[in-house]
């Protein structure tokens, strides 16, 4: 028995079939990666290089064509769809380029949505209190009754971060989280992610195409031609 990391990708590949042809397009080729608890990892790479594809595999939104992903002592390839959905809801938080908040709900209601899922096994008694505490942490306690339309882009994205954290995930995945923000809001959001990683020990994997933002993470990798390379200055 080997000693598994918190998250381990072993020889992952991903290809997509071409409709009406027997050939396929390789996107990810033989990627291996070890992630330890408390890591803060940035993945950079050109548009179309497969960054979102890779993050979706880690986030159990998709399955690799070959290779295995071990997460928290489980081999994800061996899990059924139902079990994967539970991992996704309970153990992984997602932040995307668009905040995807529900416009008709308040900030507080939006961040409570992930707690409504039936399998909320580790749901705490006072999830409302946790939501308010997290909103205070990101500087939005005063705005918790506002609706997304009344917030700035940066505030919406900070709300999305709180929503991603509400179920106490072990891993936070962020796919170009600053992609629709202005420079100042982007800096602010990255600082929040760095603080969360340091102060709350949240393991973080962030995809970005901005090198200066990637450098704020502890480790950097570059995805190029389907391969993941350590990115050293």
Ligand X SMILES: Nc1ncnc2c1ncn2[C@@H]1O[C@H](COP(=O)(O)OP(=O)(O)O)[C@@H](O)[C@H]1O
Quick one: which of 39, 49, 164, 231 contacts ligand X (CB under 6 A)?
A: 49
Cα gap 164→156, rounded to integer Å? 12
Asked if 27 touches ligand X (CB under 6 A), the answer is: yes
Asked if 52 touches ligand X (CB under 6 A), the answer is: yes
Asked if 48 touches ligand X (CB under 6 A), the answer is: yes
Cα gap 182→52, rounded to integer Å? 21
Q: Which does 53 bind (CB under 5 to 8 A by kind): Mg ion, ligand X, none?
A: ligand X
Residue 163 burial by Cβ neighbours in a 10 Å radius (0-12, 13-18, 19+): buried
Q: State which residue, 24 or 139, has the beta carbon closest to ligand X.
A: 24
Sheet holding 74-75: strands in order across? 24-35, 7-17, 66-71, 74-75
> Do residues 79 and 88 lie in contact, with contact meaning Cβ atoms separated by under 8 Å?
no
Q: State which residue, 53 or 159, has the beta carbon closest to ligand X.
A: 53
- The region of 47-55, 137-145, 184-192, 196-204 touching ligand X under the rule CB under 6 A is 47-55
- The region of 45-53, 121-129, 155-163, 214-222 touching ligand X under the rule CB under 6 A is 45-53
Asked if 103 touches ligand X (CB under 6 A), the answer is: no
Buried b (16+ CB within 10 A) or exposed e, 64-81: bbebebbbeeeebeebee
- The region of 5-13, 42-50, 104-112, 180-188 touching ligand X under the rule CB under 6 A is 42-50
Q: Which does 59 bind (CB under 5 to 8 A by kind): Mg ion, ligand X, none?
A: none
**Number of residues forming the site for ligand X (CB under 6 A):** 10
Supply the minimum distance, in Å, between the C-beta of residue 48 and Mg ion: 8
Quick one: which of 52, 106, 203, 220 contacts Mg ion (CB under 5 A)?
A: 52
Q: Which does 49 bind (CB under 5 to 8 A by kind): ligand X, Mg ion, none?
A: ligand X
Quick one: which of 33, 39, 40, 51 contacts ligand X (CB under 6 A)?
A: 51
Asked if 16 touches ligand X (CB under 6 A), the answer is: yes
Binding positions for Mg ion, rule: CB under 5 A: 51-52
């Amino acid at each position: 028995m080997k000693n598994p990391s918190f998250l381990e990708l072993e020889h992952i590949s991903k290809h997509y079939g071409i409709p009406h042809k027997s050939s396929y397009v390789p996107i990810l080729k033989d990627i291996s990666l070890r992630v330890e608890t408390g890591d803060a990892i940035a993945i950079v790479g050109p548009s179309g290089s497969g960054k979102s594809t890779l993050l979706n595999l880690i986030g159990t939104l998709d399955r690799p064509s070959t290779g295995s992903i071990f997460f928290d002592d489980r081999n994800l390839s061996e899990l059924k769809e139902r079990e994967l959905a539970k991992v996704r809801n309970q153990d992984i938080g997602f932040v995307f380029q668009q905040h995807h908040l529900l416009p008709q709900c308040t900030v507080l209601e939006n961040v409570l949505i992930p707690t409504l899922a039936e399998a909320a096994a580790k749901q705490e008694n006072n999830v409302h209190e946790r939501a308010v505490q997290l909103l205070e942490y990101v500087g939005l306690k005063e705005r918790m009754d506002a609706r997304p339309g009344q917030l700035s882009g940066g505030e919406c994205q900070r709300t999305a971060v709180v929503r991603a954290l509400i179920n106490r995930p072990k891993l936070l995945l962020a796919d170009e989280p600053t992609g629709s923000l202005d420079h100042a809001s982007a800096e602010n959001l990255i600082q929040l992610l760095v603080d969360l990683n340091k102060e709350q020990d949240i393991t973080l994997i962030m995809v970005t195409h901005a090198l200066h933002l990637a450098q704020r993470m502890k480790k950097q990798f570059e995805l190029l031609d389907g391969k993941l390379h350590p990115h050293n200055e």
